[in-house]
Amino acid sequence: MEVGVMKMVNKEKLNLKETELRLGLPGNDEEIMGKNLTLNSNGKRGYTETVGLKLNFSGMDQTDDQKEKNLHKEKTPAKAQVVGWPPVRSFRKNIMAVQKNESEETTDKAGMGGAAYVKVSMDGAPYLRKVDLKKYTTYQELFDALGKMFSSFTIGMMDFMNESKLIDLLNDSDYVPTYEDKDGDWMLVGDVPWKMFVESCKRLRIMKGTEAIGLAPRAMEKCKNQS
Amino acid sequence: MAYSFPEEVLEYVFAFLSYDKDRNAVSLVCKSWYEIERCCRRRIFIGNCYAVSPQIVIRRFPEVRAVKIKGKPHFADFNLVPEGWGAYVYPWISAMARSYPWLEEIKLKRMVVTDESLELISKSFKNFKILVLSSCEGFTTDGLASIAANCRNLRELDLGESEVEDLSGHWLSHFPDNFTSLVSLNMSCLGSEVSFSALERLVLRCPNLRTLRLNRAVPVEKLPSLLRGAPKLVEFGTGAYSAEIQTDIFSNLVEAFSGCKQLKRLSGFWDAVPAYLPAMYCVCSRITSLNLSYATVQSPDLVELISQCPNLKCLWVLDHIEDAGLKVLSSYCKDLQELRVFPSDPYGAEPNVSLTEEGLVTVSAGCPKLQSVLYFCRQMSNAALITIARNRPNLIRFRLCIIDPQAPDYLTLDPLDTGFGAIVEHCKELRRLSLSGLLTDRVFEYIGTHAKKLEMLSIAFAGDSDLGLHHVLSGCESLRKLEIMDCPFGDKALLANAAKLETMRSLWMSSCSVSYGACKLLAQKMPKLNVEVIDERGHPDLRPETCPVEKLYIYRTVSGPRVDKPDFVWTMDEDAVLRLS
């Protein structure tokens, strides 16, 4: 990429044309525009080329080679900070720097682009799955999704929310959704507000009912009272 | 020729003319009209403080009540103008203090304002009402204390985004107890905590308070008492919008917001926690302007808030909003006129949020009144730009910043010439344009051909040769301000279009290829221009004439070379100009 031409301005040989004020189009005088002009076959930039442009949106001007070059074009080092670029006001830069430092201390589940993927295992299933908790806004939505994911297995999760089925808690065929929280404890899904759950859940495990006894003391109480 | 209209009648008629353009036209009709007009002009706008001297202004307009003056070039916002370059307001204040005792209003942008200037203002103008300092610097909170203590009729104090040396928050306590005229206070740029009780008492005793923009140091639990004290607020800026989640703070805030029936504009929200955003829901339906550009909340929370603001006209937000959030914006906010999306991590190598060109395309499709855009993103395509141009031919301001310099169309690897070409072709009323990405001389051809109403153009890392600059200078008929950084533009286009420069307010070129010799030549040809070479490497005479200058600032002026230059600025051909004058 050629940089603008810098001619030796020798005062004795001052080329008056250089200083001539022209209000017209660059048209026919090649010298003024120097060697950087892209010339067509007759060596001149005609009127139609300058003013009578028909915009060609198919972008066919560049060859594939040139396009490749565009990728590797010699850039001002982008990673090194160029003064004045990107054009963010210092006022804003200072604020953002402070906020970034503060937020780095309290990293939450957000990660990349605000997703919150956690592993989901289901007892007896041959493989694990992953769900993005941020995709849902309620427990019911999560259970519906999990239900679809593990549809080939017996699903008792939706029933779990239904009190009358609690009595079947200890039955082999029912499953209980549990999760491991930030402290490493295994908790029953559904006790805390949704947002709090999303923030503290590290992984999900859909347990067999028989193994879930210790996690559902309230359910146990109810069973006892009803029987 | 004797006039049948007495002067007083003409004066009365001229009083209805508020636009400078109209008043300027009137003053050209004949000498008599010139004389009448100049004596009754009350408002003056000076776009470049060095284009004219205070003496010339005062001589022509003796009865001015309001001045607005701009100083440094726009690129000073991005640290391109070295410290100490100029734009001192003191000479203006001192001249006006002698000649305009009835001055009521001073609005300054990008000027250096000292405590001395502020003190002089506070003591010289008995009826002083409005002080707006936008992106200014050079003063401390002591200067503010003078204003507070002495301006008995102050209505508006707006510190914009100025850099203030914050010695303490004590300045606010200098407003006397019998001071009740405040209508607007914007102290959002200050760091220190002001005395809350002083602030509260001030708010309570000023019944006409309509704008209150607090600084970060005011905690969220203090907001309810302020809001309750100013129920007629139209514009409110919070402080830091975060706290431990406590239900009583939350409910107090909800109640206080709901008491503000006229609230239309909100800003602040530093460190916002999502849990407190719902406190504003009760006012959302009336909100027309929302500045969330300091709130690092994630897209879902932003979306919840925005979807409740059907009357939103202006939104400033961080790129946390992401494409998904912009989609919601486009479907709920059909009145949207202005959108600014700022980068949360401009120096990061990788994108940290899912915001692409898609978001902007969606908004351009869904918001029919959109006319003003500032958008930072990391990828763009010609196709997207063409779609935006076709969707929104009513765009007036289009500023696109693709963060990676010279980034090509990410789909085709072509330059973005045709995309921006479509913007200028379709948006016939475009007044302001900022380019970015990979661009050849071609884009300047399109701009020169189509952008006939363009007044301000910002260019960086673009073009191949002088031809690019020539297209702009020869084609853009309405061009007033041109700012260029890191482009291969040299002497030829500049010299060939020298006359154009006298029709513009200013031209800034940094890290380009304009030689010292060409600068001197230009100044010789155009005595009514100040051609300032800014070079921190020492006097340009120490280097060959062909050596490019670091920075160049050219502006038209009627007051010759300025006398307050620092040692790294030279006005070309200064001697010749001084000899001629």
Q: What is the mean pLDDT of residues A182-207?
A: 86
Q: What is the predicted pLDDT for the residue at A10?
A: 40
Residue among A19, A100, A134 minimizing CB distance to B495:
A19
- Model confidence at A98, pLDDT cuts 50, 70, 90, reads low
Q: Which H or E element spans position A49?
A: helix A47-50
Residue among B80, B163, B521 minimizing CB distance to A83:
B80
Compare all CA atoms of chain A with the CA of B523 and give the residue at the minimum distance. A19
Residues of chain A found within 8 Å of residue B349, distances taken between Cβ atoms: 79
Are the Cβ atoms of A56 and B403 closer than 8 angstroms? no
pLDDT in tens, B351-391: 889 999 999 999 999 999 999 999 999 999 999 999 999 99
Compare all CA atoms of chain A with the CA of B425 and give the residue at the minimum distance. A55
* Six-digit token string for B162: 């100025």
Residue A66, pLDDT > 70, answer no
Residue among B409, B490, B521 minimizing CB distance to A5:
B490
Q: What is the predicted pLDDT for the residue at A208?
A: 77
E strand residue ranges, B9-125: 43-46, 66-70, 105-109
**Cβ of A32: how many Cβ atoms within 10 Å?**
20
Q: CB of A222 within 8 A of CB of A185?
A: no
* Six-digit token string for B24: 């300027």
Are the Cβ atoms of B189 and A91 closer than 8 angstroms? yes
Are the Cβ atoms of A90 and B449 closer than 8 angstroms? no
Q: What is the predicted pLDDT for the residue at B69?
A: 98
* Six-digit token string for B97: 């203090």
**End-to-end alpha carbon distance in chain A:** 86
Q: Per-residue DSSP letters for B256-312? A: HHHT-TT--EEE--BT--GGGGGGGHHHHTT--EEEETT----HHHHHHHHTT-TT-
Nearest-neighbour CA in chain B from A146: distance (Å): 22
Q: Which amino acid is at B85?
A: W
* Six-digit token string for A138: 């309620």
Nearest-neighbour CA in chain A from B123: distance (Å): 30
Residue A42, pLDDT > 70, answer no
pLDDT in tens, B389-413: 999 999 999 999 999 999 999 999 9
Residue A173, pLDDT > 80, answer no
Compare all CA atoms of chain A with the CA of B378 and give the residue at the minimum distance. A86
A63 Cβ contact list (under 8 Å, min separation 6): none
How far CA A65 is from CA of B360, B410, B412, B462, in Å, comes to: 30, 16, 12, 20
Helix, strand, coil proportions of chain A in percent (round to 5)?
40, 10, 50
Residue among B78, B298, B412 minimizing CB distance to A87:
B78
Q: Per-residue DSSP letters for A68-84? A: HHHHT---S-SSSPPTT
E strand residue ranges, B345-424: 372-377, 397-402
Q: What is the predicted pLDDT for the residue at A171?
A: 41
Compare all CA atoms of chain B with the CA of A112 and give the residue at the minimum distance. B352
How far is the C-alpha of A203 from the C-alpha of A119, rounded, in Å?
5
Query: Chain A interface, mutation test: which of B72, B411, B492, most A Cβ atoms within 10 Å?
Result: B492
Are the Cβ atoms of A9 and B521 closer than 8 angstroms? yes
**Cβ of B541: how many Cβ atoms within 10 Å?**
9
Taking alpha carbons only, the member of B306, B303, B264, B308 closest to residue B287 is: B264
Residue among B401, B466, B545 minimizing CB distance to A9:
B545
Taking alpha carbons only, the member of A220, A226, A147 closest to residue A188 is: A220
Are the Cβ atoms of A91 and B161 closer than 8 angstroms? yes
- Model confidence at A192, pLDDT cuts 50, 70, 90, reads confident
pTM: 0.76
Are the Cβ atoms of A86 and B517 closer than 8 angstroms? no
Dihedral angle sign, alpha carbons of residues A41, A46, A50, A55: negative
pLDDT < 70 regions, chain B = 1-4, 576-581
Residues of chain A found within 8 Å of residue B550, distances taken between Cβ atoms: none
Long-range contacts of B470-475 (CB under 8 A, 24+ apart): B470/A26, B470/A33, B470/B496, B470/B497, B471/A50, B471/B441, B471/B444, B471/B445, B471/B447, B472/B444, B472/B447, B472/B448, B473/B497, B473/B500, B473/B501, B474/A23, B474/A25, B474/A26, B474/B448, B474/B500, B475/B447, B475/B448, B475/B449, B475/B451
Q: What is the predicted pLDDT for the residue at B60?
A: 96
Compare all CA atoms of chain B with the CA of A136 and give the residue at the minimum distance. B300
Taking alpha carbons only, the member of A133, B378, B451 closest to residue A143 is: A133
